[in-house]
Structure 1
Amino acid sequence: MASSYGTDADKTALRAGYLAARRQLPAGLKAESDRAIRTSLFAFDIFNQAPLVLTYVSRGAEVDTSAIVEHVLAQGRAVGAPVVDPTTKELAFYRIEGAGQLVAGYKGILEPDTRVCARIDAAELFGSVCLVPGLVFDAQGHRIGYGGGCYDRFLWHYPGDKIALARIMQISSNPLPIDGFDVPVDFIATEHRVWACR
């Protein structure tokens, strides 16, 4: 599915379509795609130069982030993962040293255990990169996520570079519908390369 359902498709229809397509992705193809996306990301200078990498914790058919976390930590760089405030839907990132520091949080998604992980201060975000999840992206970096708005709230004030991880099937050939509070990503890492948006 290299294109969206057209410029007249709304976010709900697009979200449903891309969720369905992602669920049908064979496990072998998913693993191969994830490896290729990692290869693109690991060759990208902006990613490699960041002392701090913020990342979502992948689940299900999302582009896997566990190997990315291991890679960054092995290089002696810092990794932060998000904790969602269920009331405000705001994200706060906490430093993690590995998967053993993750516990089930908002909607069952793994999050840093705030009893043992330190919260990352706003000043530490300068010079960092943030790996952003999403279901579909367009050439300008606009994205459709899961509908909660958590990442847009965070990205609105985020000072670092925003990098989406996306399979080619998640790139829309049509502009996506956007709202005033949507925040586009700066780069998209795919199986073939990382390309700049806008």
Structure 2
Amino acid sequence: MTDDPDKATLRRRLRAGRSAHRASLGPDGIAAATRALTDRLLPLLVRTAMVGGYVPHRGEADVLPVLLETHRRGSGLALPRTDGGGRMRFVGWHPDAALGPGFAGIGEPAEAAEVVPGLLLVPLVGFDRAGRRLGQGAGCYDRWLAAHPGGRAIGVGWSVQEVAALAPDPWDVALDMIVTEAETIVP
């Protein structure tokens, strides 16, 4: 995969907007937005045996409170591990288990058996209402979703990350749903 220069510019703009938004909210506002996001996500995760999530990085929406509550309710949890070649897989994770630095400094669980979550929470740099996602640019989630088409993929982000339309590349995999602190979008 090659990174389109226009997408790289859009990523920079969206990341800057996300950072500015978080700064304008302050700690109390971020906590309130995270609670709103958690409240929107939890009903969608009922009766899910294995939920895949992510460790937030560089201002991404924090799904760890959702994962902790989902685990408390009986679901298994999985987090991604990425090798140096950009291959991502999910491994089981328990909230008491430590996370170590992984790909790009993102927290990852220790080496464990690979699992396939039935529902996956996917981080966003940007999104549109058609369910298209702009990610970090490495294609890890698109490759994983293409290889595991049976599950549901819910994009998670802040409302300020929405764009009017994203031009999909042939390898892009659309999301089933997008959840922000402000609304739930079903394409």
Question: For residues 92-121 of structure 1, what are the alpha-carbon distances to aligned partners after superposition, in whole Å with 9 as ceiling and x for unaligned?
Answer: 11000115331111111111100xx3321x
Match of 2:61 among 63, 84, 94: 63
| C-alpha distance in 2 between matches for 1:106 and 1:152 | 17
| Contact 1:91 1:151 survives alignment (8 Å) | yes
Question: What is aligned with 1:11?
Answer: 7
| Contact 2:18 2:158 survives alignment (8 Å) | no
Match of 1:111 among 101, 108, 113: 108
**Could you tell me how far 1:66 is from its partner in structure 2?**
1.6
Q: How does 1:20-31 map to 2 (within 5 A)?
A: 20-24=16-20, 25-26=22-23, 27-28=26-27, 29-31=29-31
Question: What is aligned with 1:3?
Answer: none
Q: Which amino acid aligns with 2:151?
A: G
Instruction: Give the 3 Å change call, closer, same or farther, for CA 193–48 of structure 1 in structure 2.
Output: farther
TM-score (norm 2): 0.88
Q: Which amino acid aligns with 1:136?
A: G
Q: Which amino acid aligns with 2:124?
A: G
Instruction: Give the 3 Å change call, closer, same or farther, for CA 185–99 of structure 1 in structure 2.
Output: farther
What is the number of equivalent residue pairs in this alignment? 178
Identity of aligned residues (%): 29
Match of 2:154 among 134, 159, 163: 163
Instruction: Give the 3 Å change call, closer, same or farther, for CA 153–73 of structure 1 in structure 2.
Output: same
Question: For residues 119-162 of structure 1, what are the alpha-carbon distances to aligned partners after superposition, in whole Å with 9 as ceiling and x for unaligned?
Answer: 21xxx54xx10000111100111111111111111011222000
Q: Which amino acid aligns with 1:113?
A: A
| Contact 2:142 2:172 survives alignment (8 Å) | yes
Q: CA RMSD in A?
A: 1.6
| Contact 1:165 1:188 survives alignment (8 Å) | yes
Instruction: Give the 3 Å change call, closer, same or farther, for CA 99–164 of structure 1 in structure 2.
Output: farther
* Structure 2: stretches of 5+ with no match in the other structure: none
Question: For residues 69-103 of structure 1, what are the alpha-carbon distances to aligned partners after superposition, in whole Å with 9 as ceiling and x for unaligned?
Answer: 2111111110000000212x111110001153311
| Contact 1:129 1:162 survives alignment (8 Å) | yes
**Could you tell me how far 1:61 is from its partner in structure 2?**
1.2
* Structure 1: stretches of 5+ with no match in the other structure: 1-8
Question: What is aligned with 2:181?
Answer: 191
SS at match of 1:53: strand
Question: What is aligned with 1:40?
Answer: 40
**Could you tell me how far 1:190 is from its partner in structure 2?**
1.6
Q: Which amino acid aligns with 2:88?
A: L
TM-score (norm 1): 0.84
Question: What is aligned with 1:142?
Answer: 132
| C-alpha distance in 2 between matches for 1:193 and 1:147 | 25
Question: What is aligned with 1:101?
Answer: 98
